[in-house]
Amino acid sequence: MFKQFYDETSSTLTYLIADWDSKQAVLIDPVTDNIDEYLQLINKHQLTLVYSLETHVHADHITGGGKLKSITMAKTAVSIDCGAETADIQLKDNDVITFGDEQIKVIATPGHTAGSMSFLWKDRLFTGDSLMINGCGRTDFQGGDAGKLYDCITSRLFTLADETLVYPGHDYNGRRVSCIAQEKLINPRLANQSREAFIEIMKNLNLPKPKMIDIAVPANRQCGVPEPQQG
């Protein structure tokens, strides 16, 4: 089972993957405001949510991972390089997430942030903000590095099969899916661009500071749930 959710406020795309036989399920990049929608589908199909995966520590919304854990006991999983010390699992490159008979491979794709990761399930690649449809994530905060982003996209993602489907963490233009062949061919920041040209493009984006960053990043390093006060 596969389901894509869309958050209107932050243009975030969230993904549910489930193994029918075991009824075990995984969510990728859940948004706290949409937990009821996820749980409605999970309960409808009598699924057991076992993992809540993050592609990175988000700057534009608060993750639902921590709240989902309190409701479902699903383990939270974030890159070891994200500084999310409360996460149950500190993900590393080439880790494999297993649920039922399904497997998700973890691919480190730093550059948008130092701890950005992509997840490969069958022929579907969940890229977070590392690779978007006709674009990529900005590289000017949270340890971003344009050179690293270029390297991991070209050497790790663009080397996957052309027909691999690309499901990004956001889209602001109503699009929902791409593929590796398309991004290699027409992505304006990456197609036929040298590493130096890409770095120059990213250096000159001049994007405004994300509105939620000062709230979202600290919250998401706590998996969206602040630690209880002592005393």
**What is the pLDDT confidence band of residue 226, given thresholds at 50, 70 and 90?**
confident
- Mean pLDDT over residues 3-26, rounded? 98
- Mean pLDDT over residues 20-26, rounded? 98
d(CA 145, CA 172): 23
Q: What is the 3-state secondary structure (H, E, C) of 30-67?
A: CEHHHHHHHHHHHHHCCCEEEEEECCCCCCCCCECHHH
- Mean pLDDT over residues 216-226, rounded? 92
Model's pTM, two decimal places? 0.96
**What is the pLDDT confidence band of residue 227, given thresholds at 50, 70 and 90?**
low
The percent of residues in the chain predicted with pLDDT above 90, rounded, is 96
Query: What's the whole-number average pLDDT of the chain?
Result: 96
CATH number of 2-207: 3.60.15.10
d(CA 153, CA 39): 33
Per residue in 39-62, pLDDT (tens digit) is 999 999 999 999 999 999 999 999
Is the confidence at residue 132, as pLDDT, over 70? yes
Is the confidence at residue 96, as pLDDT, over 90? yes
Task: Give the pair of three-digit tokens for residue 106.
Answer: 């973890």
63 within 8 A of 224, measured Cβ to Cβ: yes
Check residue 229 and give its pLDDT.
Answer: 39
**What is the pLDDT confidence band of residue 178, given thresholds at 50, 70 and 90?**
very high
Q: Burial letters for 38-74: b for 16+ Cβ neighbours within 10 Å, e otherwise?
A: bbeebeeeebbbbbbbbbbbbbbbbbbbbbbbeebeb
191 within 8 A of 158, measured Cβ to Cβ: no
**What is the pLDDT confidence band of residue 5, given thresholds at 50, 70 and 90?**
very high
- Mean pLDDT over residues 198-211, rounded? 95
Is the confidence at residue 230, as pLDDT, over 50? no
Domain ranges of the chain: 2-207
- Mean pLDDT over residues 7-17, rounded? 97
d(CA 137, CA 113): 9
Distances (CA, A) of 171 to 108, 127, 137: 21, 12, 11
How many CB atoms sit inside 10 A of residue 111's CB?
Answer: 26
